Amino acid sequence: MKNRCSALQVGPDITLYHTGPALDHGPLPSLFYFALSGPDSLTLDPFNQPVQFLNGQMIRIFSMTLPGHENNLPATGAMQIWAEDLNKGYNCVGTFLDKAELAVEFAISQKLVLPNKMAVAGLSRGGFIAAHLAARDERFRSVLGFAPLTCLSKIKEFAPFPESPLAKSLDLTHLAPLISDRHVRLYIGNDDTRVGTRSCFDFAMQLVEHKKGRTSHVELFISPSIGQMGHGTSPEIFQQGAHWVASHLAMGH
């Protein structure tokens, strides 16, 4: 299923893509969703299935092009670009997040987004990015990850650089104290050898440890693995996650 999306130019090298209700509806509950390039995240099946399941609701959905996905670069090579950049000392993730923060502020200032009704979500590497963006902006009260990458050193592209300090500093374990006050839901296959089921489980448990005494919820759903390296996500899982996001956006937390 190929949906449509539109582009907003935030800055010379910052493009924010969006789909959903027309902009003249004013500020709306909004989801920032990351998977591949901005357009593919919003329009390309199966990566855009959360978007499909939110179709018709009064929820605006935004995306941006992740590092390594620019200029129609093949998605299969993106993590190699991350690994090489980080090993050289160039923080491609941090640079992207700086731009994403500016894009969020732009969307709010243009009265496209209700700042008290914002959620962030991502698939695989997009889940990694979503968690980092939530850690930078506490207005994201709900965080959703589908088969999220949580530990860079656990994926094959980083195997040649096991001691990369920059890569290690970006692992989601460091974010647990920062986002443990949010509602977090993670989905992972029970034998995901691409991003690591155990790494996702460990991250979820770190969130639980830090959230003690808080009213937020941390949920981890482990289901039978599907797809290559057990890293696939079923339409049913995408649908569950989309409905969860919609319910939290409706409540404003």
166 and 133 in contact (C-beta within 8 Å)? no
Please give the structure tokens belonging to residue 38: 């901005």
* pLDDT at res. 196: 97
d(CA 250, CA 28): 10
For 23, other C-beta atoms within 10 Å of its C-beta total: 15
- Tokens for 178? 């920062």
Tell me the percentage of the chain whose pLDDT exceeds 90. 89
Report residue 30's pLDDT band, with 50, 70 and 90 as the boundaries: very high
**What is the rounded distance in angstroms from the CA atom of residue 119 to the CA atom of residue 179?**
13
Confidence band, pLDDT 50/70/90 cuts, at residue 88? very high
Name the token pair of 223: 């289901």
**Per-residue model confidence (pLDDT) at position 74:** 85
Q: How does pLDDT run across 91-129, given as a tens digit for each residue?
A: 999 999 999 999 999 999 999 999 999 999 999 999 999
216 touches 181 (CB < 8 A): yes
Q: What is the structure's pLDDT at 167?
A: 95
Q: Single out the residue of 129, 120, 68 nearest to residue 97, CA to CA.
A: 129
**8 Å CB contact between 245 and 142:** yes
* DSSP-derived 3-state class of residue 12: coil
Domains of the chain in sequence order: 6-251 (3.40.50.1820)
In the three-class reduction of DSSP (H, G, I as helix; E, B as strand; rest coil), residue 92 is classed as: helix
CA distance 253 to 249: 6
Looking at the DSSP bridge assignments, the partners of residue 47 are none
Q: Name beta bridge partners: 136.
A: none
Q: What is the mean pLDDT of residues 70-78?
A: 86
Q: Which of 211, 148, 132, 139 is nearest to 185 (CA)?
A: 148
How many other C-beta atoms lie within 10 A of the C-beta of residue 73?
A: 14
Confidence class of residue 222 from pLDDT cuts 50, 70 and 90?
very high
92-109 and 78-88 are packed helices; what angle lies between their axes, rounded to 10 degrees?
A: 110
Q: Which of 17-21, 161-165, 176-180 has the lowest mean pLDDT?
A: 161-165
- Give strand pairing partners of 188: 222
